[in-house]
Structure 1
Amino acid sequence: MQNVINALRVLEELAGRQPAGVGELARELRLPKSTVQRSLKTLYEAGWIRPAGGAVTRWQVTSKALQVGRRAELGLRDAAMPVMEELRQRTGETIHLMVPEGDAVVLIERLETDKPLRIVLPLGIRLPLHASANGKAVLAHVLAHQERPLAELPGYTDTTITDPAALRAELAEVLARGYADNRGEWRSDIAAVAAAVLGSDGPLASLSVSTPASRMSEELRAEYGSLVTQAARTLTATLT
């Protein structure tokens, strides 16, 4: 059983760092190099990883892992759709479902507003964790479960939070009120509120209400924040 657990830990760590070698993985996981090497050999033989650039000293995840993830996303979408539809009906705005992937959140489903002025984001787009409502909703819970340093934070607009201390303070507020908001921090024309969908080990996804910045008043921000928090809790309960 421990061999299986070690292999899964190596796979998870590799997915976040790929391409990576034995030494790097061993240091991060605090495992002997021999243990990591055996796990990599098992994962390679099972088709989960392959040499990066043909060099067996560094490894990356294969499409097999992505296929399993896509099947999991389909289950998440199925559970999320009725919750998203109710949220769209109650707000009249665009609803996004995103999942965490490395240092970003990825849009996997959306329900668009009927209003003529709207923001349309393509499925598969990646948004930065620190500069989007969905990202901050996820990151707040990630940091609540595990302490980790915040890397250099790039700016996208004048309102992007780039100071790590300021971001941590913002994420503490996210946890306290239950939802994150975006005040034009990724694109100045977009405003949003988002809440995390939680699993036993942390955030699985996030739901958001997204609007043109000109339409998000402070009153609506609070109202939509409450609604998206309720929706995320409903989806969390459905999945668990």
Structure 2
Amino acid sequence: MRKKWMPEKKHVVGTRPELPAGVVKSAGRVLQILEYFDETQRPANVVEIAEMLRLPQSSTSALLRSLVAMGYLYFDRMARTYIPSCRVALLGNWVNSPLFMGGVVLQCMEDLRERTGDAVTLAIQQGVWSQYIHVLQATSLARLQLTRGALRPVAASGTGFALLSTLSDAEVRKLAHRINAEARTGAVAAVEVDPLLAVLADVRRQGYAFTTDLVTPGGAVLAMALPVTDGDRALVLGLGGISEVLKKRKAELVAIMKSTIAEHFPALG
């Protein structure tokens, strides 16, 4: 008799962000479902997906049935689980950007995870946030699971510091004014401009940002900007792990990360 599949329990760092204002909820939730499958890379049942979306099971079931009917998901009636079809894989195969061209960025991430055992994130700036647009989970025993789509304050996070280090001081000051304006609504925390610029000067000098317990208690991030962009937006790679572990391995990880990036971008590194 076939065993019923049960979701694996994992400690996840970083909550899945709420849908931005103005987004049609049904459309946003469909994309969140597809992103969740890409993140976990395994079948999932309606209970797990409903919990992820913070939705009633009835609403989640309706969304999943629609995706099955359109051919984007397969439904295993025996195991009562869903998994994406090849139609999902074909959706973006026409995209021609530095992120996907030849797979160099993704291959760099794969090699970095293999060499360190830590979680690897790819981040871009989204307004006043740094967002993880791609995540490879750690393979080491001492690990944290990061969340694709997670948002971090761009002026108060490891990947955010690395992103801002690619901007001029004038651009950073302008962004800081925007952050402080939004802080009045409680959406983000205010930032002091001069201390931020001092941090970014250190990041530019060192070639990396390293933060511990800044956003996630017990979590650390080592982040470096890539020598390529997606259009006009900077791309940053981050290694995420447990603070005490990464602090002890900091020099080793910095060397591995710099050499891995230089290896994949020899003409630019």
CA contact (8 A) 1:140 1:171 kept: yes
Aligned counterpart, 1:81: 106
1:72-120 C-alpha deviation (Å, 9 max, x unpaired) = 4862693212111211122121111112221112212122222233222
Shift of the alpha carbon at 1:179? Answer: 0.4
Aligned counterpart, 2:186: none
Q: Secondary structure at the match of 1:130?
A: coil
Among candidates 117, 121, 127, match of residue 96 of structure 1: 121
In structure 1, C-alpha distance between the alignment counterparts of 2:243 and 2:172, rounded to whole Å: 33
Deviates more, 1:171-180 or 1:118-127: 118-127
TM-score by length of 1: 0.58
Shift of the alpha carbon at 1:147? Answer: 5.5
Among candidates 91, 101, 106, match of residue 131 of structure 2: 106
Q: What is the correspondence of 1:1-240 to structure 2 with a 5 Å cutoff?
A: 72=97, 75=100, 78-143=103-168, 146=171, 148-149=173-174, 150-151=176-177, 162-199=191-228, 204-217=234-247, 219-235=248-264
| C-alpha RMSD of matched pairs (Å) | 3.6
In structure 2, C-alpha distance between the alignment counterparts of 1:103 and 1:73, rounded to whole Å: 23
Letter in 2 for 1:126: L
1:41-98 C-alpha deviation (Å, 9 max, x unpaired) = xxxxxxxxxxxxxxxxxxxxxxxxxx9xx87486269321211121112212111111
1:151-208 C-alpha deviation (Å, 9 max, x unpaired) = 3567xxxxx9943221111100000010011121111221011101134786521001
In structure 2, C-alpha distance between the alignment counterparts of 1:84 and 1:133, rounded to whole Å: 17
In structure 1, C-alpha distance between the alignment counterparts of 2:113 and 2:228, rounded to whole Å: 24
Shift of the alpha carbon at 1:135? Answer: 0.9
Letter in 2 for 1:208: G
For structure 2, the residue ranges without an aligned partner over 5 or more in a row are 1-20, 23-91, 184-188
Larger relative contact order (Cα-Cα within 8 Å, sequence gap ≥ 6): 2
In structure 1, C-alpha distance between the alignment counterparts of 2:173 and 2:263, rounded to whole Å: 29
CA contact (8 A) 1:161 1:185 kept: no
Letter in 2 for 1:181: F
Aligned counterpart, 1:52: none
CA contact (8 A) 2:164 2:172 kept: no
For structure 1, the residue ranges without an aligned partner over 5 or more in a row are 1-17, 20-66, 155-159
CA contact (8 A) 1:194 1:229 kept: no
In structure 1, C-alpha distance between the alignment counterparts of 2:170 and 2:263, rounded to whole Å: 21
Q: Secondary structure at the match of 1:142?
A: coil
Aligned counterpart, 1:3: none
Letter in 1 for 2:244: S
1:24-54 C-alpha deviation (Å, 9 max, x unpaired) = xxxxxxxxxxxxxxxxxxxxxxxxxxxxxxx
Higher share in helix: 1
Q: 1:161 to 1:146 in 2, by over 3 A?
A: closer
CA contact (8 A) 1:207 1:232 kept: no
Shift of the alpha carbon at 1:230? Answer: 3.4
In structure 1, C-alpha distance between the alignment counterparts of 2:111 and 2:211, rounded to whole Å: 22
Q: Secondary structure at the match of 1:116?
A: coil
